[in-house]
A and B are shown apart, each in its own frame.
Chain A
Amino acid sequence: SAVISQKPSRDICQRGTSLTIQCQVDSQVTMMFWYRQQPGQSLTLIATANQGSEATYESGFVIDKFPISRPNLTFSTLTVSNMSPEDSSIYLCSDSGFEAFFGQGTRLTVV
């Protein structure tokens, strides 16, 4: 089983600013996935991060708002840009999409 670490675990940010969330996996994985979990809701896939190519975004999510980096096979970042209170959510990364393991999440509050 993979161990996935996310940083920060939580943050409170001012609207209009950006936050970059880091995700580190303890083994090499081909794909990493970023999810958003709005308060009291289920998980929604934001994008798939592949090393060496641009991330693939799901409907309703765009690169300008959620730029993703994937510099190597164990690391990825998700930036939440120009934040508004509606971006207050838990952001989660996972390794494989199948029988996925998840990080502990980043709880973001935008004020």
Chain B
Amino acid sequence: GQQLNQSPQSMFIQEGEDVSMNCTSSSIFNTWLWYKQDPGEGPVLLIALYKAGELTSNGRLTAQFGITRKDSFLNISASIPSDVGIYFCAGPTRYNTDKLIFGTGTRLQVFP
């Protein structure tokens, strides 16, 4: 079945550093979504990507839709303590685009 693998699994960085994480799949996705989950909360949508090669920014966050449609990348510039959380990629399933499949997640810790 479809799977989304994220790397790295976790990151421990200093405040002010830039962060890069990615999401890969063995199958093609037509949409990529990036979510952030704060402790004790539900996921919140950060960025949505709809076209291969698309680069979209949301403040300090930038995400790219890989040209092969099998991967996506999320970058966070100048990290701050509130960036702490788990970042998930997600995409609609092949057989029903109303349903989402989620990646394995990247846990980010930011130290002051």
Contact = CB atoms under 8 A, between A and B. Distances in A.
A100 B43 CA distance: 9
Interface residues on B, range: 20 to 34
Majority secondary structure, B binding face: loop
A109 B22 CA distance: 32
A91 to B, nearest CB: 10
A99 B33 contact: yes
A33 interface: yes
Interface string B80-112: 000000001000100011111111110000000
Contacts of B92: 97-98
B88 A105 contact: no
B88 A43 contact: yes
Please classify how large the interface on chain A is, using the bins under 10, 10 to 19, 20 to 34, 35 or more: 20 to 34
A45 interface: yes
B102 A102 contact: no
Nearest to B96: A97
Interface of B: 31, 33, 40-45, 48, 88, 92, 96-105
